Amino acid sequence: MATARPPISVVIPTYHALRYLPACLGAVQAQLRPYDEIVLVDNRSRDRAGAWVRTHLPAVRVIELPYNTGFAGGVNAGIAVARGELIWLINDDALAEPGCVDALWEALRDQPAAGWAAGVLTFSRHPQVVAGAGIRFQADGIATDRALGLPVSDLPAQPQLVFGASGGLALLRRAMLDDIGFFADFFSYLEDADLAWRAQLRGWECVLAPRARARHVYSATAGMFSPFKQRLLGRNRIRMLIRCLPTPLLVACLPAILAYDGMALAYAALRRQADMVAGRLMALAEWPVLQQQRRIIQARRTASLSALARWIEPPGGPVAALRTQRRLAALVAG
């Protein structure tokens, strides 16, 4: 007998995305049951997205924040007031395909040790191409989208375990969040990778649901290669590595991490991209706070080092990263 699905709270942070919200919310509402809910968190949007939704979609609970707290802050504010046993995260610029939430739930239901399920994001202009099918982690400290750029047809037919889920499309058990805490205060970018590490440290697995798909407008909020995004990526990368990697794994990965950052800084100097440098310096300035957070996180580790090490893939290198960026630019440009 199939397990009845618990109530779901859909949490959608939004920022200047009113042009996407009617389609996003319509696709989500079509997949919910009467006992589910939608929580929209408006990060002080200038387009007054929250006010529009409150007027035109009164069934949606709207939380309007006094200032922009980023993706992480918006999601955390929504989770804090959500009532469901399951939390469905989806970006405001994503369009869930029919059957998305059912596929997420079925994959999670069949993996009792999994704390969350990852969906598959595809490119809005190229829905046959994968933008992300969960998260992968490399020995050089890069956390990136799995299966990026591959045809959807290359995805596995059945659910499989992965390192973590993208915050853009995931179904989370509240029990996992009660255990490991909410998203780290990263504002945006890599907060889902940080959550994946903290989940793995506590023995919570993640399962990919290949049939759970949503079309995504890639980097619609901050711009794909904007200085703002580069600064946050540089800062949050260092934050994640200091906070989350157990010492033996960090030591083993350190040569590849330093090699990557050395090449990244050289590239930043050559291309005069100061924000790549500034983000890393911001994180290093937080060293005492990050060390304190690290002690707390690592003290709660229950997973073995071997169980964690299996998720660390060989480093891709800066050339591979550059190729990925160019491939992304071509896909986003259509």
Contact present, 158 and 213 (Cβ < 8 Å): no
pLDDT at residue 327, as a whole number: 75
Same domain, 171 and 63: yes
Which domain CATH number covers 179? 3.90.550.10
Residue where a domain terminates, one of 179, 197, 216:
216
Residue 222 belongs to some domain of the structure: no
Average pLDDT rounded to a whole number, residues 245-256? 98
CA proximity to 133, closest of 123, 124, 116, 146: 146
> Does residue 173 form part of some domain?
yes
* Domain edge (last residue) among 216, 245, 272: 216
- 118 and 240 both lie in a single domain: no
The least confident of 75-84, 289-298, 315-324 is 315-324
Say yes or no: 246 and 162 in one domain.
no
* Span 21-32, average pLDDT: 98
Q: Is the pLDDT of residue 317 over 80?
A: no
Q: Are residues 246 and 325 in the same domain?
A: yes
Secondary structure letter of residue 4 according to DSSP: P
Q: Is the pLDDT of residue 2 over 90?
A: no
87-129 pLDDT, tens digit per residue, is 999 999 999 999 999 999 999 999 999 999 999 999 999 999 9
Rounded average pLDDT over 14-26: 96
pLDDT tens-digit map of 290-307: 999 999 999 999 999 999
For the cut 80, the answer to whether the pLDDT of residue 318 exceeds it is: no
Give the total number of structural domains in the chain.
2
* Domain identity same for 197 and 239: no
Res 79 pLDDT > 70: yes
293: containing domain: 227-333
Domain assignment present for 118: yes
Per residue in 269-288, pLDDT (tens digit) is 998 899 999 999 999 999 99
* Inside any domain, residue 303: yes
Same domain? 34 vs 177: yes
Q: Could you tell me if 290 and 172 lie in one domain? A: no
Instruction: Tell whether 275 and 153 lie within a shared domain.
Output: no
With bands split at pLDDT 50, 70 and 90, how would you rate the model's confidence at 324? confident
pLDDT value at position 332?
A: 72
Residue 316 has pLDDT above 80, yes or no: no
Whether 250 and 209 share a structural domain: no
* Same-domain check for residues 26 and 166: yes
3 falls within a domain: no
- Nearest to residue 100, comparing CAs of 5, 3, 186, 169? 169
Same domain, 167 and 47: yes
Give me the mean pLDDT over the 69-84 stretch.
98
Interval 196-231: pLDDT, tens: 999 999 999 999 999 999 999 976 555 556 899 999
Tell me the three state secondary structure of residue 314: coil
Instruction: Give the residue-averaged pLDDT of 9-28.
Output: 97
**Do 209 and 97 have their domain in common?**
yes
Three-state helix/strand/coil letters over 124-174: CCEEEEEEECCEEEECCCCEEECCCCCEHHHCCCCCEEECECCCCEEEEEH
DSSP tag of 102 = H
String of DSSP letters for 239-278? HHHHHHS-HHHHHHHHHHHHHHHHHHHHHHHHHT-HHHHH
In a domain, 293, yes or no: yes
Residue 1 lies in a domain: no
Percent with pLDDT over 70 in the chain: 96
Say if 2 falls within a structural domain: no
Q: Which of 192, 216, 240 is the last residue of a domain?
A: 216
